Amino acid sequence: MTDEIIFRRDMEIGNLSAEADQDFLDNCFIETAEYNEIKNYENRKMIILGRTGAGKTALLNKAKEEADVVVDIKPNVFVLQYIDNVPFIRQLKEEKINLEVFYKFLWLHEILSSIVKNYFKYYNKNYLMELCKFGSDSERIKQLKNYVKQYDDVFFAEGTKEKITDQLESKLEAEMGFKNFAKIASTLSESQKKEIQSKTSQYVSKTQINQLKNLISILKDYFENNKQKKILVTIDNLDENWTDEESKYKLINSLLDTIRFFIGIPSLKILIAMRNDLLSKTVEVSNRQNEKDESYTIKLNWSPTTLTNLIDKRLQYMFEFKYKKNSKISFKHIFDCFISETEGYNYILERTMMRPRDVISFVNQCIKQADGRTSITPLDIINAEKLYCDERLTALKHEWHTLYPNVECYIKAIRSLGNRFNYFNIKDNYQTVLDSLLNSAIENQDDPIVVSFLECNIDNDNCVNVNIKTLVNTLFTIGVVGIEFPDGTTLYSNADKPKLSQLDFDDDIYFVIHPLFAKRKRSIAI
């Protein structure tokens, strides 16, 4: 099947970055059930949830191609405009004033102004004139005009942030009797801080948010009469370092509350790409009810079948269009060999976390190993595996560094028990796990799990139990261990089951280390 091709080191079936992978994305896109939900503008799903490498950005990019007007809201620009560069807001943050209501208003303002500005600019129409045509009552139109007038016609332009924050600052100074908030901010009493909190929330909620809700209702009427044009708002890169960690989770929490205001506007779709861990941390920090978001969430889960179809498409595109080879190349045919009694392509899939990025990376490494030859051998796969595993471990540490700085140490600690274990195996060998964990993490003992193990009295049974369950749950969450079922199948963390429950620690439940991280013992067969 492959005797007419020669593998070269520079051959690749794609780039690990969605931004650099556009050629393959354009020609090898797989229309999954999740994508069908995304492109349906009557569908209320707005949150694309998945791990790093699951294809969130790729889905956003594809969705943009289907839209008439695309609005990209970048969180780093948003923060720089409204928060980090505004002294008044920085002062409120420093005084620990809860700004989540204000953040909600800012998100509302940013999303609305971006929609209106981009849509009417694209179609060369005067937004105020157009919107006034579709206001169902004169009072709403009057409110719209008054709101725009407040900002001296810069509502949809640069300079708005100064107007917004100056108004809030002036309002607080007037109601609190301050002549200059900046000068007295550091001397505020606790009762004054509570009063500022209350007055800020009241003013923002009753005045500013209500005014924007009025604009939303007018937009809804307008787009009811202009349904033929699709408007897509995308928000990505929320996992990056666009602000400090504490503010990030509060801002994301406010964003998730804000997008609900836009439900029901015809021809408008808002899509937010988020990592599983980011949403989990936001829920934890903000005491958010996770179930609130379930009905608005698209969970990305890939199966062996869909991943195989993806690799088939990419292999065929690479050979047929890039290298002018017309043979029908497939994943299964390229890896037609056995390793430890497992078919080559299945061997590769088993060592991925069922994400496109993983399998693309592994196949690329295999191709490099076969440089100058017409086939990929089992030895090529084994040699590629080491490089691939190192690459994925680095990526895993980067992905979870904020929450768990010592991921690699957790893996070393649990591997001291072998590749398969249950709760009691860990408990019986607790000292071994403890020693391995602490020896590995000696230079980074601010890690929450390491700290917990350090502070735990080994004779305190309850403390030991908590530590064991926390460690295993963490390893499950990040994808290092899975639950083994009696039929031999294994369940790893996914969007539907991101964490373990208490029932998963029953006597007869065993855990296994993911083949990607397990101790290796390989045999090959031709």
The chain-wide mean pLDDT, for the chain, equals 85
Close Cβ partners of 403 (under 8 Å, ≥ 6 residues apart): 277, 281
At residue 71, what are phi and psi to the nearest 5 degrees? -120, 115
| Token digits of residue 314 | 């990419």
Read off the amino acid at residue 69. V
The tens digit of pLDDT for each residue in 41-56 reads 999 999 999 988 999 9
Amino acid 160: pLDDT: 64
Rounded Cα gap, residues 270 and 232, in angstroms = 6
Least confident of 29-38, 144-153, 167-176, 310-319: 144-153
Amino acid 135: pLDDT: 55
The tens digit of pLDDT for each residue in 411-440 reads 999 998 999 999 999 999 999 998 888 787
Q: Is 85 in a helix, a strand, or coil?
A: coil
Residue for token pair 């020669």: 6
What does the buried/exposed string (b/e) look like for 132-141 if buried means 16 or more CB atoms within 10 Å of the residue's CB?
Answer: bebbeeeebb
Q: How confident is the model at residue 462 (pLDDT cuts 50, 70, 90)?
A: very high
Close Cβ partners of 302 (under 8 Å, ≥ 6 residues apart): 54, 55, 354, 355, 356
Is the overall model pTM greater than 0.85, yes or no? yes
Domain ranges (residues) in the chain: 33-299, 304-400, 407-513
Residue 34, CA distances (Å) to 45, 79, 298, 349 in order: 10, 30, 7, 21
- Cβ-based burial of 370 (10 A; exposed 0-12, middle 13-18, buried ≥19): buried
| Token digits of residue 296 | 């608005």
Residue 274 · residue 248 · CB < 8 Å: no
Please state, as a whole number, how many other Cβ atoms lie within 10 Å of the Cβ of residue 173: 16
Q: How confident is the model at residue 60 (pLDDT cuts 50, 70, 90)?
A: very high
Q: Is residue 524 pLDDT above 60, yes or no?
A: no
Amino acid 332: pLDDT: 94
Residue for token pair 């690799």: 311
Residue 381, CA distances (Å) to 2, 70, 257 in order: 16, 42, 47
- Cβ-based burial of 434 (10 A; exposed 0-12, middle 13-18, buried ≥19): middle
